[in-house]
Structure 1
Amino acid sequence: MTLSSVDLPEGLDAFLAAAGWGGAVVEPLPGDASFRRYFRVRSVDGACAMLMDAPPPQEDTAPFLRAAHWLDDNGMRAPRILAEKPDRGLILMEDFGEARMRDYLDEWPTDEAAVYSSAIDTLVKLHQLPAGPFLNYSLAEYLRETRLFIDWYCTAQNLYVDAAGWTSAWEQALSPMLPRQRPGVTVLRDYHAENIMLLGSLERQGLLDFQDALVGHPAYDLVSLLQDARRDVSAELEAQMFDRYVQKTGVAVEPFLADYARLGAQRNAKIVGIFVRLWRRDGKPRYLDLIPRVWAAMERDLAHPALAPVAAWFAANIPAHLREANGGEYAR
């Protein structure tokens, strides 16, 4: 193997041997914002697979495996599971290769509309399925996520804000949406250009990072894709792809647009909090550079009348200079 035993997960040799991949070369891959690690595994005959190391107790592989098996059983292109050892946090899975949507579009920007159209079509296909065996995206969960903005962003900016009013404003904004997310669709919750792989063509797209799937509103993953925290999506492309989704699903435009704004604001507020947490708690300041893009999208969402209670809270609690600076500066 290419790494020392200190660097590799404990028991990896035996795991790979039992899976028929004994003697394989193991190469580390860049990490993400969690405790998970990934490796590319190359067999002696040249085949490739992906290894996830999600060590307990920090990580639990059960949600990932449940979602991966459900997606695969229902015709969606999640990586096929080749071997698993949940008690050690080891999963060997199909390797989708290197053609990530984000990286492909960096090199071939003229294909943007075609690639995003395929991503919309994948989402439509997912939403035509009965919801998977996942928990419901409840109001309590939405509110818990929005609290990240108060707990991390406001604290980092030394802001003393109306926390009770924040919760009340979100309850008022989100409650009218809840009946429209029943019976619900499978919500992957992180559906964006860094978690979509191109599998040999622009039309064949594979899914990654779906372990937090819930049953919720169809607008959630749509706004995740079109208000991407990590990649600029123009207002024109966002509108074009929103219209494509509406046309293919036949949803009523006005209530769906309102819910899209609600979930965009909710998700973007959560992400701002998470990115500040990654800096302050986990020592990853690079995520701060992404906040202006997320903040700008959140401001657009707040302009919708459906977000009036939350917009009023922002006006009363977040100083204008921070909002105008898309979140402000941070003492790194």
Structure 2
Amino acid sequence: MTLPAADHADRATARLEWARRASGATSLQLHRASMDAGFRSYWRGASNDGSPTAASVIVMDSPPDREDVRPWLRIREVLERGGVRVPRVLAQDVDAGFLLLEDLGAETYLHVIDTDNADALLDDAVSQLLKLQAIACPADLPSYDEALLARELHLFDQWYLGHHLGLTLDPADRQTLERVYRHLIDAALAQPRVLVHRDFMPRNLMPAAAGPAVLDFQDAVRGPIAYDPISLFKDAFLSWPEPRVAAWLARYHARASEAGLPVPELARFRRDADLMGVQRHLKIIGIFARLRHRDAKPKYLADVPRFIGYLDAVLPRYPELAALAELIDRHVRPALAADA
């Protein structure tokens, strides 16, 4: 889903004019900094006059008819009050969908993390996560309830199996998926509930003073405590060996227990994280297919094998999920092999 060229040009003009007014730099030029999987885009300010202010700002462009910026601002305030490092807002025009933000640099954790520094970087990320999870959820914060969990799971069969692979599941396969979905939903709903970011992963963390700074938090909900840790350690865009993930989960669990967060005992938490991961992996596979077929963003599908790998590592531990493994073997693995 893309804007017509004329709309793009009009939006670009409005964005630049607003940024120059908001920053006070009349020679400001904007250059693409990044674009997320939604409709927001980010632009770095640079000025021909060498103004240090102009050279250190980011414009978030969130077209109001496509992605309202108000949820982002609201959750940013909640997180900041709770001590979480988030980007500072220097100016805003909510009706137009423009924000002027501090420039945190060009590199996220995804750019800088490697085998040698991962322990330290992820420990710092957990420090921010513990602050986030300790925040009392606003009374009107949406809940990660049964309906939302089910909608997310059905992205897998609707968009990946259906739209992408072109499959029409027979009644037996549909019943299999519904039983698996029911098990995953029940497991998620049984977990202790905290503030959940929903995409707490290296791409949404930036090295920063008193950080890392946390990004892309506008979809926060009240939900299962294992969701954000498994999102951090089983990332959408890079993978780690299972023993290392297990050690990080144990380290998170120890720190969360020490911080007074409502984590269950370690064996139960590991199971919760595994099953929560399966729900997230299926959801993301579906989202990547939707990005390809609805939003004309095909690049994300290249990471589907990563999530199949995550499922391969976990499903054999749980006999109740054996039918899902068999369905993947029959329907998904041959398609991936054909694309390889």
TM-score relative to the length of structure 1: 0.87
What is aligned with 1:296? 309
1:136 maps to 2:159: no
1:218 maps to 2:229: no
Unaligned 5+ runs, structure 2: 1-7, 258-262
Contact 2:195 2:220 in 1 (8 A): yes
1:239 maps to 2:246: yes
2:34 counterpart SS class? coil
What is aligned with 2:118? 112
For 2:16 and 2:167, the matched residues in 1 are separated by 51
1:188 maps to 2:211: no
What is aligned with 2:328? 318
Q: Which amino acid aligns with 2:15?
A: L
Q: Identify which range, 280-289 or 211-220, moves more after superposition.
A: 280-289
Q: Which amino acid aligns with 2:122?
A: Y
What is aligned with 1:125? 131
Q: Which amino acid aligns with 1:160?
A: T
1:34 counterpart SS class? coil
Cα deviation code 1:233-273 (max 9, x no counterpart): 22232112101111112231122111111110000001111
Contact 1:39 1:51 in 2 (8 A): yes
Superposition pairs of residues 167-316 of structure 1, within 5 angstroms: 167-181=178-192, 184-200=193-209, 204-250=211-257, 251=263, 252-305=265-318, 308-315=319-326
Cα deviation code 1:106-136 (max 9, x no counterpart): 5xx4212111111122212222222245211
After TM superposition, give the deviation of residue 299 of structure 1 in Å: 2.4
| Aligned residue pairs, count | 317
Alignment match of 2:14 (pick from 5, 11, 14): 11
For 1:245 and 1:294, the matched residues in 2 are separated by 22
Contact 1:37 1:53 in 2 (8 A): yes
1:88 counterpart SS class? coil
For 1:25 and 1:301, the matched residues in 2 are separated by 48
Q: Which amino acid aligns with 1:35?
A: F
Alignment match of 1:88 (pick from 88, 96, 107): 96
For 1:236 and 1:313, the matched residues in 2 are separated by 24
Contact 1:169 1:310 in 2 (8 A): yes
Contact 1:61 1:89 in 2 (8 A): yes
Unaligned 5+ runs, structure 1: none
Contact 2:91 2:99 in 1 (8 A): yes
After TM superposition, give the deviation of residue 15 of structure 1 in Å: 3.0
1:154 maps to 2:167: no
Runs (4+) off by over 4 Å: 325-328
> What fraction of aligned residue pairs are identical, expressed as a percent?
31
1:71 maps to 2:79: yes
Contact 1:188 1:221 in 2 (8 A): yes
Q: CA RMSD in A?
A: 2.4
For 1:130 and 1:124, the matched residues in 2 are separated by 12
1:30 counterpart SS class? strand
Contact 2:150 2:185 in 1 (8 A): no
After TM superposition, give the deviation of residue 10 of structure 1 in Å: 5.0
For 2:197 and 2:315, the matched residues in 1 are separated by 24
For 2:41 and 2:175, the matched residues in 1 are separated by 38
Cα–Cα, structure 1 residues 167 and 26, in superposed 2: closer, same or farther, change >3 Å?
Answer: same
Alignment match of 2:24 (pick from 8, 21, 26): 21
Cα deviation code 1:196-220 (max 9, x no counterpart): 10115xx731011111111111210
